[in-house]
Amino acid sequence: MLSAEIAAFIVTGLTTAAGTALVRRRALARGRLDVPNARSSHSVPTPRGGGLAIVAVVLTATIIAAALAVLPAGSCAALVIGGGMVAFVGYCDDLKGLPILPRLSVHVAAAAIAVATLADAGSVFPGLPATVAIAVLMLAVLWSINLFNFMDGIDGLAASQATFVFLSSAVLIALSPRVDTPFLSLLAVTSGACAGFLCWNWPPARIFMGDVGSGFLGFWVAAVALALDRTGVLSVWTTTILMSVFIADATVTLLRRVARRERWHEPHRSHAYQALARRWHGHRGVTVLLWAIDVAFVLPMAAWSAHERGRAPLLAALTLAALAVLVWIAGAGKPRDRAIAS
What percent of the chain is modeled with pLDDT above 90? Answer: 75
Same domain, 297 and 185: no
DSSP 41: S
Per-residue pLDDT band at 305 (split at 50, 70, 90): very high
| Of 30 and 86, more confident | 86
Estimate to the nearest angstrom the gap between the alpha carbon of 242 and the chain centroid: 10
Domain identity same for 4 and 134:
yes
Q: Which of 177, 198, 233 lies at the terminal end of a domain, its last residue?
A: 233
The domain of 10 spans: 1-35+44-233
The letter for the amino acid at 180 is D
- Contact (Cβ atoms closer than 8 angstroms) between residue 71 and residue 224: no
Q: Running DSSP on this structure, what letter comes out for residue 294? A: I
pLDDT at 180: 61
Answer whether 41's CB lies under 8 Å from 274's CB. yes
Find the helix or strand (DSSP H, E) in which 255 lies: helix 244-259
* pLDDT surpassing 80 at residue 225: yes
10 Å Cβ neighbour count for 235?
25
Cis peptide before 313 (omega within 30 of 0): no
The stretches of 97-209 forming alpha helices (DSSP H) are 100-118, 121-124, 130-151, 157-174, 183-201
Domain edge (last residue) among 199, 214, 233: 233
Q: Tell me how many domains the chain contains.
A: 2
Question: pLDDT tens across 43-89, in order?
Answer: 678 898 999 999 999 999 999 999 998 889 999 999 999 999 999 99
**148 and 169 assigned to the same domain:** yes
Q: Are residues 91 and 186 in the same domain?
A: yes
Q: Could you tell me which residue, 44 or 328, shows the higher pLDDT? A: 328
Question: Does pTM top 0.85 for this prediction?
Answer: yes
Beta bridge partners of 47: 33
